[in-house]
Chains A and B, each alone.
Chain A
Amino acid sequence: MTVPTPSQTDFDPDLHAYVDGRLSPDAAAEFDARLDGDPELRRLADAMIGDRDAIRSAADGLDTGPVNLRTAALERQLAQRLDRRRWQAAIAGPVSRQVAAGFVMFALGWGAHMALAPAGTVYPSYVAEGLGAHTVFAGDTVHPVEFTPETTVAALDWMSEKLKHKIDSPALDALGLQLVGTRLSGTREGPLAQFIYEDRSGNRLSLVVMPHPEGAPEAGLRVARQDSNSVGYWSDAALDFAVIADTSDLQIETVAAEVTRNVALSR
């Protein structure tokens, strides 16, 4: 079989764009008018559309097997990796230097301290991240937050999108705690939202929220101590929570209960 030399028409970019549906409506109408005046070109365009459709049908006919488990596993890994990459890029904005500085402090200060913590003090990673964030940011009275209470509503929408769950700023006014502001950080596990509150005397409390890993079990409230801080942490089906402050375990339990009540009300 010999394949004849293609003609000039075969390289007409408008013809291909017409066949592939890539012309604007106006350009497509114009090309249609051209086809009306050129039956040979019309036949060629119709034949090319027929070939394209036949290729699609053939591909559909081939693609009938069940999903391969290894492919599905690779897909999950890649989704996580790309999500993390997207997340890293999201925080590489104007606040990146601040966040980066925070993590350097974390690595040198609190992180190193963690290594010296007594054996057996093992927290879920989001609690460790939350403790780090609290230590680095809540104690900073000059630049502790990215979003002030006034801008928090808009920031929360953005955070909700990142956390893939609608979150409202849990009001803790009932406990005499005022929202100072919020921060959004990136961790190895995903985005982390930190709400910083203050009591009348200026004592700070952090509420940390992260997306709960898919398939991981829910967990009831646990309270532990890390130096002078008390940390309460729990998970529901959608989110992981941690409440951290330099206070008594009983107060942390009270705050945790109030957060849980607020979250339940907002859903």
Chain B
Amino acid sequence: MGLQDNLHEQIAGLRRYALVLTRNRDDAEDLVQDTLAKALDKAHTWQPGSDLRPWLFRILHNTHVSNLRKQKVRADAAPDLPEPVMPETQTASMELKQVLGALDKIPEAQRKPILLVALEDMSYADAARSLDVPLGTFMSRLGRGRAALRTLLGEMKRGKLHLIA
């Protein structure tokens, strides 16, 4: 696969990941665009011949953390403003809504490893590198996060309402 096709595929992966991470189409697109703009500035740090994916995801993660920090500053500065209304996300079924809802309840440090291995065919080592954490920490967060997800989904299914999948 040529570099152009490879990049196109990786950006589709970034968008997919960003959508699940932010749960908002505009935020996800902004995150992807910020990531690409930073990648343009940091093109000299990419080692030709190496996999583009961990390099791009690392930039995306750093951008995301930095955006969250900015959002927090804005939120702290305007405590009286009501929460913005997020557009309802189109989801195929109740089961998928439940999965997304459960993911939202998991701490972000655990959510990212779960999403990376579920959505991206990245090695654990590359995924850990893209998050700037040691492999041991990554595996520990993955294990903890998946256990939490299991528990949350189990509780949702045990609810009184019969939800149609």
Interface residues of A (CB under 8 A from B): 1, 3-4, 6-7, 10-13, 16-17, 20, 22, 44, 47-48, 51-52, 54-65, 68, 70-71, 74-75, 77-79, 81-86, 89-90, 164
**6 A-B residue pairs with CB within 8 Å:** A11-B143, A54-B96, A63-B16, A78-B39, A81-B43, A164-B2
A84 CA to B43 CA in the complex, in Å?
10
Contacts of B155 in A (CB 8 A): 1
CB atoms of A61 and B43 under 8 A apart: no
A70 CA to B143 CA in the complex, in Å?
37
CB atoms of A63 and B3 under 8 A apart: no
CB atoms of B48 and A90 under 8 A apart: yes
| Chain B: minimal CB distance from A116 (Å) | 33
CB atoms of B150 and A47 under 8 A apart: yes
Partner pick for B139 among A13, A70, A75, CB 8 A cutoff: A13
Partner pick for A22 among B3, B124, B146, B148, CB 8 A cutoff: B124
Contacts of B89 in A (CB 8 A): 62
Partner pick for A52 among B11, B118, B151, CB 8 A cutoff: B118
A6 CA to B19 CA in the complex, in Å?
28
User: Interface majority SS on A: helix, strand, loop or mixed?
Assistant: helix
Contacts of A7 in B (CB 8 A): 147
* Extra pairs beyond A17-B124, A44-B150, A62-B20 (6, CB < 8 Å): A3-B147, A58-B91, A70-B33, A78-B40, A82-B43, A82-B46
Interface residues of B (CB under 8 A from A): 2-4, 7-8, 11-12, 15-17, 19-20, 23, 25, 29, 32-33, 36-37, 39-40, 43-44, 46-49, 52, 89-92, 95-97, 99-100, 103, 105, 114-115, 117-119, 123-124, 139-140, 142-144, 146-153, 155
A233 CA to B161 CA in the complex, in Å?
75
CB atoms of A86 and B146 under 8 A apart: no
CB atoms of B143 and A10 under 8 A apart: yes
Question: Are A51 and B146 CB-contacts (below 8 A) given A1-B155, A56-B119?
Answer: yes
Contacts of A44 in B (CB 8 A): 150
Partner pick for B100 among A17, A58, A68, A85, CB 8 A cutoff: A58
CB atoms of A85 and B153 under 8 A apart: no
Contacts of A58 in B (CB 8 A): 20, 91-92, 96-97, 99-100
Question: Are A10 and B144 CB-contacts (below 8 A) given A22-B124, A71-B32, A85-B48?
Answer: yes
Residue on B with the closest CB to A75?
B11
Closest 10 CB pairs of A and B: A74-B36, A6-B147, A89-B48, A86-B48, A11-B143, A61-B92, A58-B96, A10-B147, A55-B118, A81-B43
CB atoms of A75 and B8 under 8 A apart: yes
Partner pick for A61 among B46, B90, B144, B146, CB 8 A cutoff: B90
A17 CA to B44 CA in the complex, in Å?
33
Which of A12, A64, A74, A77 neighbours the largest number of chain B CB atoms within 10 Å of its CB? A74
Contacts of A75 in B (CB 8 A): 7-8, 11, 36
A44 CA to B153 CA in the complex, in Å?
13
